């Protein structure tokens, strides 16, 4: 049901709510947009999609839906799931709600990071779970453990649903499609910034669990519903260069014109692409444009020193500051405070300022549309752009705002479309369909081709495929090929690929089920091609073989060598500590880069010292972060694959590599003690001089021995013993119970016990419950048994 907004008769007052609900709203009346949606959200249970401009007060809509759930159900009898695209948005929401909605008796849980034991407990006890699509995906992939959680889910709140079209949109899409299946009775509310095809989202969600073919209730509101008018200007500059340095220069030259044109005697935030450019732009402006305005500001700034950062302190005197994650917290807070106090007129900031911090400006300038993101120069996503522009003209502070986007001429019209809310939201699910199908087969959402088609029909991809088949390149060329034929083909072909590669098999009952491989692939989010590589690798792999295979995973495809990095990586390849140097460093091979990053880290190699090596440091650390985001999953999947093929040698080596990756240090190396607090290279050397190399060596040394090794005063060695006691040490004993012979076959019964050798029981390590892996292999390398115990 589509409803175009009309003016409500009258704004609805918060006093129309029961007393105990009213107090959560800090204003007397709902605005027009909220009043129009009020009855649907608070007095009905239908799924609802609302598209409305940034800053128009959409959060209140979620709150009304929560109140509805509270009215209908008793506390403790339901779960509400709130999904937003980033951790920082989740955190902002979590903090605001925990404070403001506590009076309702609701308990909030924040679920975005690694699942530590405490986190799971929080979520079990929370009424409202605040989470990201990625985290909720991994939680619901294991949903059998969370059975009760799912049946309790009464309300699913999806914020910023237009991110469906971003790369990670596919995760949101599968997670919502899955929730529709496993929590069918839940109500779905999706909110979006202005988009042209909100009706597709309504069609996707359906009106409720039993009327899926009727679209959800839909409201769309135009820019006139922004409480504060935001004027958006896009300036495209003709240029042939993509060189960031030259672009920076160009934008800095143009900035004064922009400021002259849009300056409203009010605060300005300029978003710059890198930390460094925040500083240079701020300096340029202090030197040029601010000169004429210094006099006005001078009287406002208190004399004396305000900032720890010397340059910043100097600059601030001209009313300009920079703000980025490299500044101390104290300096950042001071910049914000002086900006609000109007002592600083311009902040030049990286995009990190746009989330989580409520700094209102009148004029926001996005100085260039590409920035340093995840270690590469990338265009901002639309979501990032909206977040930055959202700083301009915040209600309560201002009655209008201006956002200026500076970009290159070729991108001008693209940004005009996006920011005008005219870019259609398409699905991204087709890019990794085979992996998603496997995950759903694993979850038993899909158990044959028919249910596969049924699942596909429940996705947003299906809604969009019907309308814009050309976008998805799925071979609808002639009108005679109907969407159903294409759907059938998509499903059959992808399922056949999974079946042929033994990732899924067909059970006796004729149902599709995942094999151990398929389960591992879904559990650890492994790409199809990577999985095939793991499954088809040889037996008896050495650590070096496994490392090479892992480094070749398509998950790392983005880590190409950059200009000038060849020399840098050749140095690393030759460094002390690199265990398996590459024969050649082939710059066409991203696997070489990944392998060297891993080996550099595990071997604690020295950073190259040649002239100019330093300029690769930032990129190196960004690349390392990407490698570390993936390695744990990949190596655990390799272990699973090798267990499945009974290859004891490979399992043992993969486990050793897994341990090393977890600790970021080679297992069995002379460096292991570096993992303890307070042990650096110098202390390590002193221990090694006394033949103290392993945790066990250290634990069995007495205090005096430690103090003499390190030349410490009496009593100071205790700390080392306490620290080493927090690390679990295991002992294994094996007892042969008997032996029976039958021809040439021998059967041996053994009893194995594994014990913790620490003086006190260690149950957790690094906030995780301990798991013990037990591996038994024959002398020929065949795996006899592998088991895990907690
Ligand atoms: N009826 C109201 N009267 C006064 N202020 C309101 C009202 N509703 C919301 N606000 C305030 O407006 C501001 C913006 O609200 P909110 O963050 O919910 O907007 P939004 O539409 O979700 O924007 P975004 O697109 O940035 O997420 C908040 O500070 C909120 O407290
Ligand atoms: Mg919002």
Read off the pLDDT of residues 672-730 as tens digits, 9 standing for 90 and up: 999 888 888 899 999 999 999 999 899 999 999 999 999 988 888 889 998 898 888 88
Note the ligand closest to the C-alpha atom of 159. 2
pLDDT in tens, 523-556: 999 999 999 999 999 999 999 999 999 999 999 9
CA–centroid distance, 25 to ligand 2, in Å, is 16
CA–centroid distance, 200 to ligand 2, in Å, is 20
Nearest Cα residue to atom 23 of ligand 1: 55
At residue 1, the pLDDT reads 42
The contacts found for 139-145 with CB under 8 angstroms, 24 or more apart, are 139/111, 139/115, 140/175, 140/178, 140/179, 140/182, 141/439, 141/442, 141/443, 141/522, 141/523, 142/523, 143/182, 143/443
Question: Residue 174 — pLDDT band, cuts 50, 70, 90?
Answer: very high
- Which SS3 state, helix, strand or coil, does residue 21 take? helix
Mean pLDDT score, 53-78? 89
At residue 617, the pLDDT reads 87
d(CA 723, CA 726): 6
pLDDT in tens, 433-449: 999 999 999 988 899 99
CA–centroid distance, 434 to ligand 2, in Å, is 33
Mean pLDDT score, 244-256? 88
At residue 595, the pLDDT reads 97
At residue 227, the pLDDT reads 78
Chain centroid to Cα 224, Å, comes to 34
Note the ligand closest to the C-alpha atom of 31. 1
At residue 7, the pLDDT reads 56
- Give the CA count within 13 Å in the CB-facing half-sphere of 110: 14
Mean pLDDT score, 574-602? 94
Question: Residue 2 — pLDDT band, cuts 50, 70, 90?
Answer: very low
Tell which residue, 142, 159, 132, has the closest CA to residue 525.
142
Backbone angles phi, psi at 225, to 5 degrees: -90, 0
**Residue holding tokens 């070729």?**
410
Site to substitute for ligand 1 among 15, 35, 57, 88, most atoms within 8 A of C-beta: 57
Better-scored residue on pLDDT, 746 or 61: 61
Mean pLDDT score, 318-342? 89
State what percent of residues in the chain have pLDDT above 70. Answer: 93
Question: Residue 33 — pLDDT band, cuts 50, 70, 90?
Answer: very high
Q: 179 and 209 in contact (C-beta within 8 Å)? A: no
At residue 243, the pLDDT reads 73
What is the residue-averaged pLDDT of the chain? 88
Backbone angles phi, psi at 734, to 5 degrees: -130, 130
Locate 606 and state its tokens: 């020295």
Q: 213 and 385 in contact (C-beta within 8 Å)? A: no
CA–centroid distance, 97 to ligand 1, in Å, is 14
Pairing of strands 504-506, 400-408: unpaired
Question: Residue 229 — pLDDT band, cuts 50, 70, 90?
Answer: confident
For residue 194, pLDDT beyond 90: no
At residue 299, the pLDDT reads 47
Nearest Cα residue to atom 7 of ligand 1: 57
Nearest Cα residue to atom 3 of ligand 1: 27
Nearest Cα residue to atom 16 of ligand 1: 57
CA–centroid distance, 260 to ligand 1, in Å, is 30
Tell which residue, 197, 221, 204, has the closest CA to residue 51.
221
At residue 477, the pLDDT reads 53
Question: Residue 201 — pLDDT band, cuts 50, 70, 90?
Answer: very high
Ligand 1 atom at shortest distance from the alpha carbon of 56 = 21
d(CA 437, CA 461): 13
At residue 659, the pLDDT reads 92
At residue 462, the pLDDT reads 93
Instruction: Tell me which residues have their CB closer than 6 angstroms to ligand 1.
Output: 27, 30-31, 34, 54-60, 193, 390, 395
At residue 147, the pLDDT reads 65
Nearest Cα residue to atom 30 of ligand 1: 57
At residue 707, the pLDDT reads 92
Ligand 1 atom at shortest distance from the alpha carbon of 31 = 1
CA–centroid distance, 367 to ligand 2, in Å, is 24
Q: Which of 37-41, 403-407, 415-419, 737-741 has the lowest mean pLDDT?
A: 415-419
Better-scored residue on pLDDT, 3 or 741: 741
Ligand 1 atom at shortest distance from the alpha carbon of 29 = 1
For residue 479, pLDDT beyond 90: no
Better-scored residue on pLDDT, 735 or 76: 735
Note the ligand closest to the C-alpha atom of 386. 1
CA–centroid distance, 57 to ligand 1, in Å, is 3
Mean pLDDT score, 627-650? 95
Q: Between helices 460-467 and 198-205, what is the axis angle to 10°?
A: 130
For residue 297, pLDDT beyond 60: no
Q: Which of 284-293, 330-339, 567-576 has the lowest mean pLDDT?
A: 284-293
């Amino acid at each position: 049901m589509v409803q175009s907004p009309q003016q409500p008769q009258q704004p609805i007052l918060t006093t129309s709510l029961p007393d105990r609900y009213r107090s959560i709203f800090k204003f007397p009346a709902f605005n027009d947009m909220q009043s129009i949606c009020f009855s649907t959200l608070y007095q009905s249970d239908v799924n609802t999609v609302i598209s409305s401009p940034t800053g128009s007060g959409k959060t209140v809509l979620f709150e009304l839906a929560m109140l509805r759930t509270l009215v209908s159900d008793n506390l403790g009898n339901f779960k509400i799931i709130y999904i937003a695209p980033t951790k920082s948005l989740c955190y902002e929401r979590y903090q605001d709600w925990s404070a403001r909605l506590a009076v309702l008796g609701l308990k909030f849980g924040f679920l975005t990071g690694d699942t530590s034991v405490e986190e799971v407990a929080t979520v079990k006890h929370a009424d409202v779970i605040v989470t990201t699509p990625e985290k909720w995906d991994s939680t619901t992939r294991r949903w059998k453990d969370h059975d009760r959680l799912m049946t309790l889910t009464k309300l699913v709140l999806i914020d910023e649903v237009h991110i469906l079209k971003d790369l990670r949109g596919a995760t949101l899409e599968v997670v919502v499609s899955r929730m529709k299946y496993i929590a069918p009775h839940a109500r779905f509310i999706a909110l979006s910034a202005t988009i042209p095809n909100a009706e597709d989202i309504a069609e996707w969600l359906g009106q409720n669990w039993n009327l899926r073919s009727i679209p959800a209730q839909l409201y769309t509101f135009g820019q006139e519903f922004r409480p504060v008018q935001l004027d958006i200007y896009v300036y495209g500059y003709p240029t042939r260069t993509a060189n960031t340095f030259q672009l920076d220069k160009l934008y800095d030259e143009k900035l004064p014109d922009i400021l002259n044109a849009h300056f409203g005697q009010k605060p300005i935030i300029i978003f710059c692409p890198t930390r460094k450019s925040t500083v240079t732009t701020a300096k340029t402006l202090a030197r040029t444009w601010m000169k004429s305005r210094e006099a006005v500001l001078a009287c406002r700034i208190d004399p004396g020193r305000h900032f720890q950062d010397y340059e910043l302190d100097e600059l601030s005197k001209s009313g300009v500051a920079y703000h980025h994650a490299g500044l101390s917290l104290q300096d950042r807070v001071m910049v914000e405070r002086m900006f609000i106090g109007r002592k600083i007129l311009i902040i030049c900031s990286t995009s990190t300022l746009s989330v989580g911090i409520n700094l209102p400006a009148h004029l926001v300038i996005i100085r260039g549309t590409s920035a340093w993101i995840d270690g590469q120069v990338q265009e901002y996503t639309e979501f990032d752009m909206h977040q930055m522009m959202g700083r301009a003209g915040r209600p309560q502070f201002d009655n209008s705002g201006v956002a200026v986007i500076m970009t290159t001429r070729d991108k001008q019209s693209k940004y005009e479309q996006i920011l005008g809310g005219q870019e259609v939201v398409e699905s991204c699910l087709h890019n990794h369909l085979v992996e998603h199908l496997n995950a759903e087969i694993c979850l038993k959402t899909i158990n044959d081709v028919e249910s596969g088609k049924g699942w596909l029909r429940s996705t947003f991809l299906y809604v969009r495929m019907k309308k814009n088949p050309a976008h998805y390149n799925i071979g609808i060329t002639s009108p005679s090929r109907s969407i159903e034929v294409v759907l059938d083909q998509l499903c059959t072909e992808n399922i056949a690929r999974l079946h042929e590669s033994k990732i899924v098999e067909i059970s006796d009952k004729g149902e599709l089920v995942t094999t151990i491989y398929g389960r591992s692939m879904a559990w650890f989010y492994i790409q199809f091609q990577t999985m095939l590589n793991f499954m088809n690798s040889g037996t008896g792999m050495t650590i070096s073989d496994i490392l090479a295979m892992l480094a070749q995973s398509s998950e790392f495809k983005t880590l190409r060598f950059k200009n000038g990095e060849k020399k840098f990586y050749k140095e690393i390849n030759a460094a002390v500590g690199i265990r398996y140097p590459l024969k050649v460093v082939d710059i066409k091979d991203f696997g070489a880069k990944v392998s060297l990053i891993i080996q550099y880290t595990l071997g604690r190699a020295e950073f190259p010292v040649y002239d100019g090596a330093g300029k690769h440091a930032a990129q190196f650390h960004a690349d390392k972060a990407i490698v570390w985001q993936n390695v744990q999953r990949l190596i655990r999947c390799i272990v699973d694959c090798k267990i499945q093929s009974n290859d004891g040698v490979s399992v043992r080596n993969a486990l050793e590599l897994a341990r090393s990756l977890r600790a970021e240090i080679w297992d069995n190396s002379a460096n292991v003690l570096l993992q303890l607090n307070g042990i650096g290279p110098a202390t390590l050397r002193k221990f090694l001089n006394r033949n103290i190399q392993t945790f066990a060596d250290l634990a069995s040394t007495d205090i005096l021995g430690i103090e003499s090794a390190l030349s410490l005063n009496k009593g100071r060695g205790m700390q080392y013993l306490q620290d080493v006691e927090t690390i679990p040490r295991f002992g294994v004993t094996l007892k042969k119970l008997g032996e029976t012979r039958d021809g040439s076959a021998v059967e041996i019964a053994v009893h194995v016990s594994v014990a913790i050798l620490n003086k006190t029981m260690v149950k957790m390590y690094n906030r995780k419950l301990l798991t013990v892996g037990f591996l038994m292999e024959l002398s020929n390398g065949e795996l006899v048994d592998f088991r895990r115990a907690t």
